[in-house]
Structure 1
Amino acid sequence: MEFSKLFFTFFILQTLLVPSIQSANSDLFREYIGAEFNNVRFSDVPINSNVEFHFILAFAIDYTTSSSPSPTDGQFNIFWDSDNLSPPQVSSIKNAHSNVKVALSLGGDSVGNGHAYFNPSSVDSWVSNAVSSLTKIIKEYNLDGIDIDYEHFKADPETFSECIGKLITTLKQNGVISFASIAPFDDDQVQSHYLALWRSYGHLIDYVNFQFYAYDQGTTVDQFISYFQTQSSNYNGGKVLASFATDGSGGLSPENGFFTACSRLKSQQNLHGIFVWSADDSMSGGFRYEKQSQSLLAITH
C-alpha cells in the first residue's frame, strides 16, 4: 500500500509539473545575420534590453573556400561576412548588451553555386574534424552556441544523427558551447534526418528553429497554428520557436498575421520565442518587425 501511495503521489506531481516545464512563454529572440554580405553589422540591429537576444552567424560550412568549393569532412570554414561581423565586433556587441549571445550556424542551403551537402566520410572522422575546427572558430569569436541548418544530405539519417549528436555532446562537455539549436523545415528528407537526431539526442538540443517560412506564401493564421502544433508534436518536449522571413519568401508574413498567431500562442503559454531570417534582408526596412517581435516578447511573462 505504501508503495502504491508513493507511486500515485509521484504520478500526480509529474502530471502537474511536466506541462509547466514544456509549456511556457519565453522572451527569446534570435536572428540570423551575415549570409548575404550586404554590410549589416550587429550594431545596426535594434536590441530590446528586456529580451534574451541571440545573433546567429550564417554560415560556417565544412567546404573549401575556393572558387569551386568542395566538402572537407568536418573541417569548417567561415562563410559569413567576417569583415563586418568580426571577433572584435562580437566582443563589442556583447559588452554593450548583457542580454546578447552570439552563435554560429552550420551548413545552410548553398555554397558557391551549388548545395551545401552534409557529406561525412565516417562518423569518427567527421566528428573529430568538426570538434577541432569549430572549437577554434568558437573560441576565436567568443561565441556561445551552435545551430544546425544542413538542408541537403549525402548520408543517411542515422549517420547524421550520430555525427551531429556527438558533436553537440563533445562541445557541451568541453564547455565550448552553452546551447545548441536545430533548424529543420517541412520536407520529407530534411525531417527524416532531424527527427532521427531528435530521437537520439533531443535532450541536448535547446531550441528548435523551425523554418515556418518554408511553408507556402500566403499561409493563414489558422494554418500557422496548425503547423506549429504539428511540429511541436514532432519535436515533442522541445522549445519550437515561431519564425518569419523578411526576404519575401513564404510562410505567414508579419504583414498578414504573424503577430496575431504569436499572440494566440502566447495565450496558450506556447510562445517559446521568435526567430527571423534575416538581418541582412531587414536592414532596408529599418528592422521594423524585429522591433515589434521584441516588444511582444518583452511582455510575455
Structure 2
Amino acid sequence: MELIKVFFIALLILQVLFPCNASIQAPKNSNLFREYIGAEFNNIKFSDVPINSNVEFHFILSFAIDYDTSSSPSPTNGKFNVFWDSENLSPSQVSSIKSQHSNVKVAVSLGGDSVANGNAYFNPSSVDSWVSNAVSSLTSIIKQYNLDGIDIDYEHFNADPDTFSECIGRLIKTLKNNGVISFASIAPFDDDQVQSHYKTLWKNYGDLIDYVNFQFYAYDEGTTVSQFMNYFKTQSSNYDGGKVLVSFISDGSGGLSPNDGFFTACSKLKSQNELHGIFVWSADDSKANGFPYEKRSQALLAIPH
C-alpha cells in the first residue's frame, strides 16, 4: 500500500515538472484562407471573390484608422473611422456574404500603411485614453458591420514598443472579454522597427493573438523557394508557438510569386505539417485577372493531409 502511495506521489511530481505537451505543441496544418479587401476602391465586392466551401474563409476589411479627415487632419487617439470602400462593402453586404457561406467570417484591419497622402502612424496620447477610445469606437464599428475579429496592421510608429504592446494587448483583451470579437491577428513584416513593436506585443500578449499574418511579400521580388522556407522558419521562431500564415501579393511586386514557386513552398510546408493557412494582399488587385491564385490556394488548403 505504501509503495502505491509513493508511486502516485512520484507521478504527481512528474506531471508538475513535465506537464502534458498537448497545450504547447506547435500549430498544425489548417484550411484557413484569408484575404484583405476594400483598400483600393475599385468596386470590389465580397461576391466577386471565389469561396471554396471546404476552407475556413476570412475577409479582412482594409482599413479602420484612428484618424479624422473632417477636422484638422490629425490622428484621433484611438477614435477609429472606416477607410475601406464602405459603399460596396457595407453592413448589408457583410450580412449577405455570411448568410450565403457558413464558412465565411469577416474581420477589420487596423492602421495600414497610409492615410490622407501620408503615413498612418500609431501615435497615442496615453495608453489609457487610447485603449478607452479604441474599445468604444471599434465596438461600434464591429457591431454595425457584424464583424468577427480584428487584425493589427500598423506599420509606422510614433510610440515605443512597450506602449504599442500595452495599447494593442489591452484592446484585444477587452474586446475578447466583452464578447465583441472571437479572434485577433497581427500583420508584421521584416523591418527592424516593425518587428521590435510586434515582437514585444507577442511576448506580452501572444496568448491572445490567434494568427500571425506575416507579410512575406514584403521581402524582395524574386524570392526563391529556398529563401522563403528560411524566412518562414525565422518568423516561426520570432513568433514561437503562433500560427504563422504564408502570403503572397496579387500584383507580384514582392516576395515569392505564385508563378515562381509559392505553391511549391506551400506543399513543402504542408508535408511538414506547418501550413497554418494562406492569406492574400489583396482581392482588389486580384479582381483584374479573375482570382486564379485564390482558387488554387483554397484548393490546396482543402485537401486533407
The Cα shift of 1:14 comes to 2.7
Q: Quick check: 1:25–1:300 contact (8 Å CA) kept in 2?
A: no
Which of structure 1's runs of 4+ aligned residues deviate more than 4 A?
Answer: 9-13
What secondary structure is seen at the aligned counterpart in 1 of 2:288? helix
Q: Deviations over 1:153-172 (max 9, x none)?
A: 00000000000000000000
Larger Rg: 2
- C-alpha distance in 2 between matches for 1:68 and 1:246: 35
Amino acid at match of 2:59: F
Q: Do residues 157 (structure 1) and 166 (structure 2) align?
A: no
Q: 1:75 to 1:255 in 2, by over 3 A?
A: same
Q: Do residues 283 (structure 1) and 284 (structure 2) align?
A: no
What secondary structure is seen at the aligned counterpart in 2 of 1:255? coil
Q: Deviations over 1:27-56 (max 9, x none)?
A: 000000000000000000000000000000
User: What are structure 2's unaligned runs of at least 5 residues?
Assistant: 1-5
What secondary structure is seen at the aligned counterpart in 2 of 1:176? coil
Amino acid at match of 1:78: V
Q: In the alignment, what sits opposite 1:128?
A: 132
Q: Do residues 55 (structure 1) and 43 (structure 2) align?
A: no
Query: Structure 2 length normalisation: TM-score?
Result: 0.95
Q: In the alignment, what sits opposite 1:194?
A: 198
- C-alpha distance in 1 between matches for 2:11 and 2:107: 47
Q: In the alignment, what sits opposite 1:223?
A: 227
Q: In the alignment, what sits opposite 2:101?
A: 97
Q: 1:26 to 1:160 in 2, by over 3 A?
A: same
Q: In the alignment, what sits opposite 1:298?
A: 302
Q: Do residues 214 (structure 1) and 218 (structure 2) align?
A: yes
Match of 1:79 among 56, 79, 83: 83
**How many residue pairs align between the two structures?**
299
The Cα shift of 1:5 comes to 3.7
The Cα shift of 1:70 comes to 1.4
Amino acid at match of 2:98: K
- C-alpha distance in 2 between matches for 1:279 and 1:11: 48
Q: Do residues 14 (structure 1) and 20 (structure 2) align?
A: yes
What secondary structure is seen at the aligned counterpart in 2 of 1:260? helix
Q: In the alignment, what sits opposite 2:3?
A: none
Q: Do residues 33 (structure 1) and 37 (structure 2) align?
A: yes
Indicate the larger mover: 65-74 or 98-107.
65-74
The Cα shift of 1:12 comes to 6.5
Match of 2:173 among 169, 178, 193: 169
Q: Do residues 118 (structure 1) and 122 (structure 2) align?
A: yes
Q: Deviations over 1:132-153 (max 9, x none)?
A: 0000000000000000000000
Q: Deviations over 1:217-246 (max 9, x none)?
A: 000001000000000000000000010001
Query: Structure 1 length normalisation: TM-score?
Result: 0.96
Q: In the alignment, what sits opposite 2:249?
A: 245
- C-alpha distance in 2 between matches for 1:262 and 1:50: 17
Q: Deviations over 1:103-144 (max 9, x none)?
A: 000000000110000000000000000000000000000000
Amino acid at match of 1:111: V
- C-alpha distance in 1 between matches for 2:88 and 2:100: 17
